[in-house]
Structure 1
Amino acid sequence: MMPLEVLEQAQAELPDWQHTGMSVAEVSHRSKEFVACADHTQELLRQILGIPDNYRVLFIQGGAFGQFAGVPLNLSKPGDTVDFVLTGQWGTKAFKEAKRFGLNPIAVTDEKASNYTTTPAQGTIQPTEGAAYLHYTPNETIGGVEFGYIPETGDVPLVADMSSTILSRPLDVSKFGVIYAGTQKNMGPAGMAVVIVRDDLLDRARLDTPSIWSYQLMAENNSMLNTPPTFSIYLLGKILEWVIAQGGLDGLAVRNRTKAETFYAFLDASDFYSNPVAHDSRSWMNIPFLMANADLNKQFVAQAEQAGLTNLAGHRSVGGMRASIYNAMPQAGVDALIEFMKEFERVHA
């Protein structure tokens, strides 16, 4: 879900952006208007996240999945050990992708025994000595599992796939070597990844790293080594302006915490519905839930869609249902879902 205000602004500007007589999707990425737009988007992101001066902000095509390859290409060489913390399917996919680049990937923690409903206890993650980096996924969308802390990795650069949690609350960027995030959750449409990389890591790329995925080359060219995803950059800027209007990350944190707590409280009080995730690992953004009678799942999803409550089917790999309540989802959306679920339970319990 994207903020309605942003969609309406984009709609109004689409035929004639900044009095150019063209859509933002038509102007040259080298035009003074679009260069200023990209610079504005980057500065807003720096302001909102408090990104230190010794970090670069990159706009790269290919989404987060592209960065499953981009990270090892930029931070390691063949034969290096790279560490992974596995708490769900996306971290596991990144782990498997790293194997394609001649690395020695090690799962220093794997929560498979809990069926990926837990995160490791704080202080238990121990990086391998000499590892090129340690990768983790702060929020796993499919399982609805989220870290309540940032792992301490010492001299080993910490890499985070923040696709589904970035901009949902304040963040200490200085704790990380690299943060990457697909834009399709809290930052706009699919197709682009935002990469935030510390300066001292820019010169580690392999010689055969594709130019468009080279952090150093992209940083040197202000993300315009090739034609960038202009519409995604433009919409990200609009969303960042919306974030500021919501009170910044502090304001969104209050809003997001309240939405999640409301829904979890309802689930915990029910004998008909349940959430499988450990209480200390519950996500603010993605809340899976089950029914006592799984035979009702398809009926639930179909009736919910008829009521205007969409995309509630759980991922095909885990089943059940899942409510994704990203930044743009209002409290009213959560309340409407709860009311529907109460009525469904009344009829089918």
Structure 2
Amino acid sequence: MTQHIEPAVRPENPRFSSGPCAKRPGWSAEALSDAPLGRSHRAKPGKAKLAEAIDLTRQILQVPDDYRIGIVPASDTGAMEMAMWSLLGARGVDVLAWESFGSGWVTDVVKQLRLEDVRVLEAGYGEIVDLSTPDFSRDVIFTWNGTTSGVRVPDANWIAADREGLTICDATSAAFAQPLDFAKLDVVTFSWQKVLGGEAAHGMLILSPRAVERLESHTPAWPMPKVFRMTKGGKLIEGIFKGETINTPSMLCVEDYIDALKWARDIGGLEALVARADANAGAVADWVARTGWVDFLASDPATRSNTSVCLRIVDPRVAGLDADAQAAFAKAMAGALDKAGVAHDIGAYRDAPSGFRIWCGATVETSDVTALLPWLDWAFVRELQSLGKAA
């Protein structure tokens, strides 16, 4: 890496954003031509589309038949807020956090709901909490895959099968790219714009029978906004989980989600989606192993994400700079790659340590990841030269 020469090969699709993420291969607006636009979502065509989206979600994610699946407003955030506001307060809560979104759930539980019996278990960016410490006699809230830190739980073996409390899992960057053990999960939330590259603003809420039992037996101590209400007269509003959404969904977005689900089904379902994400993350891992200036933010290979792959600069010529200068260097690299048209939106999350975040979910082609990596080397040398530090 002694010359400032552009690589010969470019990614065909430079979209490596961690959300909204790249559309499925071969996508075009024509895929949305069957959307029932200008029709009520309560009319027969709209209800059929919403039910189809729920049925395909169950099929692809391999959700048990006795779990409810609902389409809810406000993306993954809305789904998590609905779950926490509706379910918490019946017993103590352990909240696990190792990145910004998990920290957001801590804020909601402690400062907004103001629950008193709360344990907060936290780890810094790139690390994960000791998974032997949660107490499953309590409710446990955690993020399966930390989008902003590139850290994920390795599996669900740490979750007690005979738990007394509920497990509430934010799975928005894991669903469709990492196997989810639903027997260990009582609430699962995610959004369409991550692994399947759908459009934003809609969330998915999956409830186990144990979560439904809690909803029907527990009345929260706080007022419940209409958009969060899932029960009436002490009984679950079943229509929410059959496509009768709480508020008006975008049927264009619903059609786009169905298109992505059908693509997932046609390429081999969940196993194929996981394999695609694993191949993408594996290409980055191979490059990191032979590249001296960069390393993963996640220190333990067992907890490294295969979707939101986060990297940091470890070369002493950059790592020895102060934090602001390091951030400026990484930002300049990301800007150069964006301007060259080979990688859009790969800068680290604003609250995370400086570096890069490359989305490697299932809609990304491994050939594009492979083509991107020499460009990272190019941008690194380019910025070193601008500092007068190139070898």
User: Normalising to structure 1: TM-score of the pair?
Assistant: 0.87
2:59 alignment counterpart: 47
Is the alpha carbon distance of 1:54 and 1:274 closer, same or farther for their aligned partners in structure 2, counting shifts above 3 Å?
same
1:20 alignment counterpart: none
Q: Aligned to 1:305, what secondary structure does the other structure show?
A: helix
2:310 alignment counterpart: 288
Is the alpha carbon distance of 1:103 and 1:33 closer, same or farther for their aligned partners in structure 2, counting shifts above 3 Å?
same
User: Partners of 1:233 and 1:332 in 2: how far apart?
Assistant: 29
Q: Cα offset for 1:236?
A: 1.4
Q: Cα offset for 1:331?
A: 0.5
Tell me, which stretches of 5 or more residues in structure 2 are unaligned?
1-21, 319-325, 385-389
Amino acid at match of 2:331: K
Amino acid at match of 1:333: D
Q: Aligned to 2:280, what secondary structure does the other structure show?
A: helix
Q: Cα offset for 1:6?
A: 3.8
1:127 alignment counterpart: 135
Is the alpha carbon distance of 1:346 and 1:68 closer, same or farther for their aligned partners in structure 2, counting shifts above 3 Å?
same
Measured against aligned partners, the alpha-carbon deviations of 1:149-200 in whole angstroms (never above 9, x if no partner) come to: 1131322211100111111133322221100112221241110110000134
Measured against aligned partners, the alpha-carbon deviations of 1:69-98 in whole angstroms (never above 9, x if no partner) come to: 322221123x84211111211111011111
Contact 2:167 2:186 in 1 (8 A): yes
Are 2:98 and 1:84 equivalent residues in the alignment? Answer: no
Contact 1:68 1:98 in 2 (8 A): no
Is the alpha carbon distance of 1:177 and 1:300 closer, same or farther for their aligned partners in structure 2, counting shifts above 3 Å?
same
Alignment match of 2:372 (pick from 333, 337, 346): 337
Question: More displaced, 195-204 or 153-162?
Answer: 195-204
2:224 alignment counterpart: 209
Q: Aligned to 1:299, what secondary structure does the other structure show?
A: helix
Q: Aligned to 2:65, what secondary structure does the other structure show?
A: coil
Contact 1:268 1:275 in 2 (8 A): no
Percent identical:
20
Tell me, which stretches of 5 or more residues in structure 1 are unaligned?
18-22
Are 2:159 and 1:152 equivalent residues in the alignment? Answer: yes
Q: Cα offset for 1:296?
A: 3.0
Question: More displaced, 93-102 or 67-76?
Answer: 67-76
Contact 1:24 1:230 in 2 (8 A): yes
Higher relative contact order (CA 8 A, sep 6+): 2
User: Partners of 1:97 and 1:163 in 2: how far apart?
Assistant: 18
Are 2:324 and 1:310 equivalent residues in the alignment? Answer: no
Alignment match of 1:219 (pick from 226, 235, 238): 238
Number of aligned residues: 333
Q: Cα offset for 1:271?
A: 1.4
Are 2:209 and 1:190 equivalent residues in the alignment? Answer: no
Q: Cα offset for 1:210?
A: 2.5
User: Normalising to structure 2: TM-score of the pair?
Assistant: 0.79
Amino acid at match of 1:35: K
Q: Cα offset for 1:24?
A: 2.9
